[in-house]
Structure 1
């Protein structure tokens, strides 16, 4: 009874903090969501560099990184992107790349065809909604 009351008080006081859980990174201590909504090459390079630098700093098992693309940022995930090798290398270290399908559907309506995407990219219905959901789970959002 005393233990339960103490636990209830800790929860009430907000001193218990639950970190997001990642099936692919069960030992992660840091949880980062990088937003890319800009199609410029410089911005794409910056986002990829931030991810690579953090993997090197913390180690690939200690940080869970996701890069979410929407709007012009989805160009990063085009299959013919010149950064494909860097993207694949980051994926091999556990970085996830999500693509806003709302943006892809808009591109398809405007151009008449869907762009070919990196085969390991992860589709999400609405990129911004996905970001909000991940932030609510405890991910830190950074927009380099």
Structure 2
């Protein structure tokens, strides 16, 4: 092989590495549960106020209706006072169940749940289909690194 081929190959590899580092080329997240998803959304809920809970659920429902449940992958991560959304006795269970049936995942910060138990002496009962994560904010960072867009309604 000639010298120009190697020089060209090195330049191509270097260019590709620079594009990846600059974020020009990036892989879309892959969702096992939604293999045809084109949009990837992570919503943060750290507020326990009923209005904020309603807003998060409404945004998820609106996006599912707009894009279709197969075209968007949505996860809602709760931590701090936001974990109240996932309490088993939350009055929004019907809405949560409907969203779950359309593939929305709800994760709960177990660090927050452990703190609540330590401070109150009782562990809150959570929605049986909620997904526990060790540290909610760390989970958010990891999912954003995978390519999900973070929204804090």
> Which TM-score band (shorter chain)?
over 0.9
Q: Does 1:13 align with 2:19?
A: yes
1:30 and 2:36 correspond: no
| 1:125 matched residue in structure 2 | 134
Which residue of 107, 110, 115 corresponds with 2:124?
115
- How far apart, CA to CA, are the structure 2 residues paired with 1:140 and 1:43? 19
State the shift of 1:3 in Å.
Answer: 8.5
Q: What corresponds to 1:77 in structure 2? A: 86
Q: CA RMSD in A?
A: 1.7
CA distance in 2, matches of 1:124, 1:22: 18
Larger radius of gyration: 2
Return the offset for 1:4: 9.4
- Give 1:8 shift: 6.1
Unaligned 5+ segments in structure 1 are none
Q: Structure 2: give runs of 5+ residues left out of the alignment.
A: none
Summarize deviations over 1:85-120 as a string: whole Å, max 9, x none.
Answer: 000000000000000000000000011111010000
Q: 1:87 — aligned with what? A: 96
Q: Number of paired residues?
A: 144
Please tell me whether residue 141 in structure 1 is matched to residue 150 in structure 2: yes
Look up the SS of the partner of 1:12 in the other structure: helix
